[in-house]
Amino acid sequence: MMHDQQKVLCIGSMGKDIFFPIDPTQLPHDAHCSDTQAKWFRFAYGSKIHVEDRFSALGGCACNVSVGLSRLGISASACGNVGNDAEGRWITEFLKNARVFTEKIRTVDDAKTDLSMILVDSTIGERTIFVNRDVGEKLVINAQDISGEQWCYMGSLYGEHIQENMRVVHRALVEQSVKLAYNPGGSNIAHDTDVVLDLIHHAYVVFVNRSEARDIVAQFNLPHNVDDQHDETFLTHTIKQHMKSDNGVVVLTDGRNGAWAYNGEYIVHTEVIEKKVCDATGAGDAFASGFFAGFLQGFSVEKCMQWGSANSDAVIDYYGAQEGLLLYDIIEERSQTFVVKK
């Protein structure tokens, strides 16, 4: 375990996920499509679909990343809203049992804990998510939430207080010397562009998927050709140039195509291990918590990539985003199976 303990506050969504695995081959032939061009489910009004099993798990980046970090020896706190209901109490108790600090979770009366219903194609692990956000959209972050923290990990934010919440985090970065690891979501990039770019500028680690990276780079209005939009080197280098920290890292994930990281000196790539995926939900958060835990311990970017890949690979064997998250001793061994190439 690490000796120089780092403190991380994970800000963002939290809720309950309910999974329904569906084997599309058992549906009527016109009720699904999973060719190389499109993937979808289609159900007729009034139909009743029998599901063999169901699973429940915590959801949302604040839950997923805080649990992932805690299992890897990082002192993690979760900051978000839950409702004054059974689901909210269940989430808080689960996080406590996972050794995540819960003092900055707020229980909001007259609001429902966020809930997602997730249909999973049990043959390939891809999913369709129906999400109901209620209490999460009421989140208001204040300076006291961030005071005393060394690091802040922030994912997508939702609701009417988005921009003010982002500005509170920004002030903490400037005035309190808090360091940021940032995973901006597509919605924030599209609708809160200026604040997102400002947070990226101050971040030490930026996690994006390929689509998010393209959307961010498009905001810089740099001359480029169509091929650049598909080039990991162009995407990661362009985002890194916008970050003021010389020690900053940009991490780009792309599902089955693996992940890339650029630290300002060189770019590295790691591939996924081909296997049947049970459920891809939470794979990105698992990668982020594995990579970030390594980063906080001063590991090389190559080893951070191995940790992220191993954590993500373990989670997709299960339904939900927490089961399968690796412990410190286990990740050391499993990470060695992932090859990182410059």
pLDDT tens profile 43-60:
778 888 888 899 999 999
Tokens of 216: 């961010």
Token digits of residue 192: 């809160």
Beta strands 115-121 and 127-132, pairing class = antiparallel
Lowest mean pLDDT among 1-15, 204-218, 260-274, 317-331: 1-15
Assign 226 a pLDDT band (cuts: 50, 70, 90): low
In this structure, are residues 340 and 268 in contact, taking their beta carbons and an 8 Å threshold? yes
- Asked if the model's pLDDT at residue 1 lies above 50, the reply is no
Stretch 228-248: mean pLDDT, rounded?
93
Phi, psi of 81, deg, nearest 5: -110, 140
pLDDT above 80 (res 223): no
Higher pLDDT, 2 or 111: 111
User: b/e per residue, 248-287, with b = 16+ CB within 10 A?
Assistant: bbbbbbbeeebbbbbbbeebbbbebeeeebbbbbbbbbbb
- The order of strands in the sheet holding 127-132 is 55-59, 15-22, 115-121, 127-132
Helix (H), strand (E), coil (C) string for 22-54: ECHHHCCCCCEEECCCCEEECCCCCCCCCCCCC
Segment holding 186, helix H or strand E: helix 186-191
Instruction: Report the C-alpha gap between 248 and 45 in whole angstroms.
Output: 51
State the average pLDDT over residues 237-256. 96
Does residue 2 surpass a pLDDT of 70? no
- The helix/strand/coil state of 212 is helix
- Condensed to tens digits (0 to 9), the pLDDT of residues 124-156 reads 888 889 999 999 999 999 999 999 999 999 999
**Residue 91, phi-psi category: left (phi > 0), alpha (psi -120 to 50), beta (remainder):** alpha
Instruction: Specify whether the CB–CB gap between 208 and 250 falls below 8 A.
Output: yes
Residue pair 210/218 in contact (Cβ under 8 Å)? The answer is: no
Residue 56's CB is within 10 A of a number of other CB atoms, namely 13
Closest to 300 measured CA to CA, from 275, 335, 254: 335
Cα separation, 63 vs 53, whole angstroms: 24
Is pLDDT at 90 greater than 90 in this prediction? yes
Percent of the chain predicted with pLDDT > 70: 94
